[in-house]
Amino acid sequence: MSWTRSRTRRTKRTWTAPTPTGTTPTPPIRTPTTQTASRSRVGGALERCIAPHDEERFLAEHWEREPLFVERDEPGRYDDLLSEEEVEQLVTSGGLRYPGFRLVKAGEQLSARGYTIDIPWRPTGFTGTADIDRIAREWERGATIVLQGLHLHRPTLGAFCRSLESTLGDPVQVNAYYTPRSAQGLPVHHDTHDVFVLQVAGSKRWLVYPPARELPLKDQKYSEAMGGPGEPVHDLALQPGDTLYLPRGWLHEALTSESDSLHLTVGVNVVTWLDAFRAALDECGGEVGFRRSIRNGDAGELVEALAVRLGREDVERRAAEKLVRTRRPIREGQLSQLRALDELDIRTELERRPTVLARLAESNGSVVLAFEGKELAFPARAGAEVRAVMELEEPFTAHDLPGSLDDADRLVLIRRLVREGLLRISAA
């Protein structure tokens, strides 16, 4: 992925926290790049988060283990993802609807009914619409505006998340937090997903505490019953362009001082070994032994049968298949692409969409291309051309493809892949 502008990066200092007592790091499951769209085509987001740190070293030393703070002198570094001006425009446009946004304030429960309205319309009204005056009043009183699921409707952030998904093999999401000066959005808590905090504008102070529970699951939210946070192990001030990585489970709270603050929270919903066991167990439904009553059968034999399905290759395959199956399309310019098909010929320059994660397999004599919840089957004689489409890194034409299809069949293949969203016409 190429970014719209180049930047000169200067790191002033970095910080890391010690691994908490009793930590036993487990290497994360990662999707082999040979099974998805090439990492180099969609890569860049992880490097952009942690630079100048090396990606492999980050994954070996920090991922799921300990925080990483990267301080930079680089205002504007993340403005192309979401700027402060864009946030104000979104909030004051009146077009936001709950739960696409919410207000939070430490120590208070803010009900959505207090800052949204329903607008009558035919045939169906617009419910949970932002009430601009109420939101402005709450923000002025210290409430943080949270823009949720931005990767679902902002193509730039969707592409950023897709890049991380390609590198890490895990689903990624992003929210934005716009906190007024001298305020705190959330009390001490931990996240149940790994987080990259990207400071966009203003300053925010972060207090970081050791985990009360190491690597919590989704339903293991923090509560005071787990024990108080104690004294912070790190007290940080994030400035524009800074990054803070927090493994899930590390307690933290954030507050502003004299300036308003905007940051992005990029959450990585990791595939755990518990997920891997459940996915493997789901496949066991085809074996009669698992369908018998617990009064019959041998649990030891069933455990052995399950273990066979837990080899690294099978575990990674299932994780990759689910990731590919559950990604939503990012189809910027697709209507123009459909109209450009009228002029497509054997020499038209094409390229693979960088946001598409896809898998290629053979089944019943056909070549099957799976991506974004669908499967496209092609006859075996088109296999060479389809494989080339998956492997080519640079723009190409249908004429350039290897294989035995004639020009007419190549055009049928290419037109379908443009319509389905895997390819796009470069000129369009």
In the chain, domain spans: 11-16+26-85+112-268, 273-323, 334-425
What's this model's pTM, rounded to 2 decimal places?
Answer: 0.88
| Helix (H) or strand (E) run with residue 302 in it | helix 299-308
CATH homologous superfamily, domain 11-16+26-85+112-268: Cupin (2.60.120.650)
Rounded percentage of the chain residues whose pLDDT exceeds 90: 87
- Report the topology of domain 334-425: Outer Surface Protein A; domain 3 (3.90.930)
Q: Is the peptide bond before 28 cis (omega within 30 degrees of 0)?
A: no
**For the stretch 5-33, what's the b/e string if a residue is b when 16 or more beta carbons lie within 10 angstroms of its beta carbon?**
eeeeeeeeeeeebeeeeebeeeebbbbee
Quick check: 293 pLDDT over 50?
Answer: yes
94-122 burial, b if ≥16 CB within 10 A, otherwise e?
eebebebbbbbbbeeeeeeeebbeeeeee
Can you give the pLDDT at residue 10? 31
Q: Is the pLDDT of residue 31 over 90?
A: no
CA–CA gap between residue 328 and residue 325 (Å, rounded): 9
Q: What percent helix, strand, coil does the chain show, rounded to 5? A: 35, 25, 45
Name 20's Cβ contacts closer than 8 Å, sequence gap at least 6. 210, 211, 214
Q: Do 11-16+26-85+112-268 and 334-425 fold alike per CATH?
A: no
List phi, psi (to 5°) of 101.
-150, 160
Tens of pLDDT along 239-286? 999 999 999 999 999 999 999 999 999 999 999 999 999 999 999 999
Cis upstream peptide for 20 (omega within 30°): no
Largest CA distance in the chain: 71
